[in-house]
Chains A and B, each alone.
Chain A
């Protein structure tokens, strides 16, 4: 397991390093599989890095019935989670070449029956938040001081079930639930603003009695501080709307022009890896 120091500066340096490594691993996985969601995985890497390497009380060796729980409701971005597990050493590096192959633990969408480092199976959108709620309420019923972290896509909030869950969580004051919306503004058929705009998302969440924060979803310090703030609110569930970019490699680089689909050509893959190595 990787340990980080308590000092803020080095911790952030570590997270930057882990996020960079995760990006390289997930790109390699998807490139090798020649199938997978590059842009969606890259947009949530920084969120997952802060959760996995800093804020979550989560270990592959501890049953999640006794610790924090991680739910990737936008299951198509699961290479980002697999990559974090490989970077952390909880998953062996040779799994990199098994993504989306037959009998692999690393299914195209997370499958807890095949991989015990996956807490919840997802894939069809809109269901992860409801399961997160059930797990969070179970934690409270058991008297556990644990959090459930759920990462959903922005387009995913177009699913009706999400709003059933939002209504329920707010009214029931499920404060040990922290939801990230990976607001990368892009969905399968194009820009979210063109397909079905979400605005005003902050006001909508607030109306459903959620504690709402809006942050830069690629700024590790902002992500960390938002989680700490969310935990301080003991009477509301928290949503962190993380403004991200699909295909984000770094401040000055995105891949695949921020689109939802598509895989990298050999040249694009090499250039992306070179960019990340130079930035490491």
Chain B
């Protein structure tokens, strides 16, 4: 069990060894965002900007325009909070910066809402050339890093703080934009991403006890490939999205738009964080917000009970 930010730490050094153009722009959070190993290994390619995210984003944009592939790292909330700087210096300049936003969702826990990455997806989704990646485990993190290091497109890499297990087999191959079905079921297509993939998999035994077998889809990159999504949706009449993010603006909105555009005749439900969040232990927060396995299973059953074609046992 490791956090995706920990897997990122090793993978970053690995790809930096293969790609001379990989550099890091840091914002005084090398230990938390896991760029410290890179700093130790490649000190000449490490740019410390201090607690000044706006400048760091600009410096990274300039490095990218000269041909480097900069990873600028901070908490996702702090980084994407510099929206205007990302919009202009990265987006409108088409600068090949990788914005690494760690501490996604509620998992930062006791530090509370001023540090929680709960609105980062909403902000980054508004930029037409921004690719969004959010790995579910170590295998996917490594593959995403290899993919990203070879690209030049503006990218937001969302990483988690909480320990996670590997949910993919070693032969898994990440393909940008492809929905990744981690469990094939029949009753409902459940879409999620990042640390929530493991939580969804953990609901399977309990859901099986109430006669529900969901298909679980890892949406690890945005924008989604429409045709690939249509293939997944085609086998289901019910679609449910759950995310460790504000309930508006995240992958649920992305999927809802695609479902409408694809003219799919499905019932659609959403669950996520409905407010600003608050301080508390991660376990307490995920329980309170019904984003732990028990809470998610309960929310999903509630959604399915409203669907006449689905029988949910008590």
Q: A residues near B, CB below 8 A?
A: 65, 111-113, 119-124, 126-127, 129-139, 141-142, 160-161, 164-165, 167-168
Residue of B nearest to A128 (CB): B58
* B47 contacts A111, C-beta separation under 8 Å: no
CA A88 – CA B221 in complex, angstroms? 46
Q: Is B98 an interface residue (CB 8 A)?
A: no
3 A-B pairs with the lowest CB-CB distances in the bound complex, closest first: A134-B62, A130-B58, A138-B66
B-chain residues with CB within 8 Å of residue A139 when the two chains form the complex: 66
* A127 contacts B62, C-beta separation under 8 Å: no
Nearest CB of chain A from residue B64's CB, rounded to whole Å = 7
* A133 contacts B88, C-beta separation under 8 Å: no
Instruction: Kindly identify which residue among B44, B55, B84, B95 contacts A165, using a CB–CB cutoff of 8 Å.
Output: B55
CA A122 – CA B61 in complex, angstroms? 12
In the assembled complex, 30 residue pairs joining A and B whose CB atoms fall closer than 8 Å, in A order, are A111-B92, A112-B94, A113-B94, A120-B65, A120-B93, A121-B88, A121-B92, A122-B88, A123-B92, A127-B58, A127-B85, A127-B88, A130-B55, A130-B85, A131-B59, A131-B61, A132-B62, A134-B59, A134-B60, A134-B61, A134-B65, A134-B66, A135-B65, A135-B66, A137-B62, A138-B67, A138-B68, A142-B66, A161-B55, A167-B52
Q: Is B49 an interface residue (CB 8 A)?
A: yes
Nearest CB of chain A from residue B204's CB, rounded to whole Å = 46
CA A113 – CA B129 in complex, angstroms? 12
Which residues 10-42 in B have Cβ within 8 Å of A in the complex?
A: 23, 25
Residue of A nearest to B49 (CB): A168
Q: Is B207 an interface residue (CB 8 A)?
A: no
**Which interface residue of A126, A130, A134, A167 has the most chain B CB atoms within 10 A?**
A134
* B66 contacts A168, C-beta separation under 8 Å: no
* A65 contacts B58, C-beta separation under 8 Å: no
Q: Is B149 an interface residue (CB 8 A)?
A: no
Nearest CB of chain B from residue A111's CB, rounded to whole Å = 7
Residue of A nearest to B93 (CB): A121
A-chain residues with CB within 8 Å of residue B52 when the two chains form the complex: 161, 164, 167-168
Beyond A127-B85, A138-B67, A160-B54, list 15 extra A-B contacts (CB 8 Å).
A65-B67, A113-B93, A120-B93, A123-B92, A129-B58, A131-B58, A131-B65, A131-B93, A134-B70, A135-B66, A141-B45, A142-B67, A164-B49, A164-B52, A168-B59
Q: Is B159 an interface residue (CB 8 A)?
A: no
Q: B residues near A, CB below 8 A?
A: 23, 25, 44-45, 47, 49-50, 52, 54-68, 70, 84-85, 87-89, 92-95
* B92 contacts A135, C-beta separation under 8 Å: no
Instruction: Kindly identify which residue among A119, A123, A135, A164 contacts B55, using a CB–CB cutoff of 8 Å.
Output: A164
Instruction: Kindly identify which residue among B50, B60, B89 contacts A168, using a CB–CB cutoff of 8 Å.
Output: B50
Assuming the contacts A113-B94, A168-B49, A168-B55, asked whether A161 and B85 have C-beta atoms less than 8 A apart, the reply is: yes
CA A129 – CA B54 in complex, angstroms? 11
Instruction: Kindly identify which residue among A65, A124, A130 contacts B59, using a CB–CB cutoff of 8 Å.
Output: A130
CA A191 – CA B62 in complex, angstroms? 32
* A130 contacts B66, C-beta separation under 8 Å: no
A-chain residues with CB within 8 Å of residue B55 when the two chains form the complex: 130, 133, 161, 164-165, 168
* B66 contacts A65, C-beta separation under 8 Å: yes
Nearest CB of chain A from residue B203's CB, rounded to whole Å = 45
Nearest CB of chain B from residue A67's CB, rounded to whole Å = 11
CA A120 – CA B92 in complex, angstroms? 9
A-chain residues with CB within 8 Å of residue B87 when the two chains form the complex: 124
CA A164 – CA B60 in complex, angstroms? 14
A-chain residues with CB within 8 Å of residue B23 when the two chains form the complex: 141
Instruction: Kindly identify which residue among A130, A141, A168 contacts B57, using a CB–CB cutoff of 8 Å.
Output: A130
Residue of B nearest to A139 (CB): B66
CA A124 – CA B59 in complex, angstroms? 16
CA A135 – CA B88 in complex, angstroms? 16
CA A161 – CA B92 in complex, angstroms? 18
Nearest CB of chain A from residue B215's CB, rounded to whole Å = 40
A-chain residues with CB within 8 Å of residue B85 when the two chains form the complex: 127, 130, 161
B-chain residues with CB within 8 Å of residue A129 when the two chains form the complex: 58
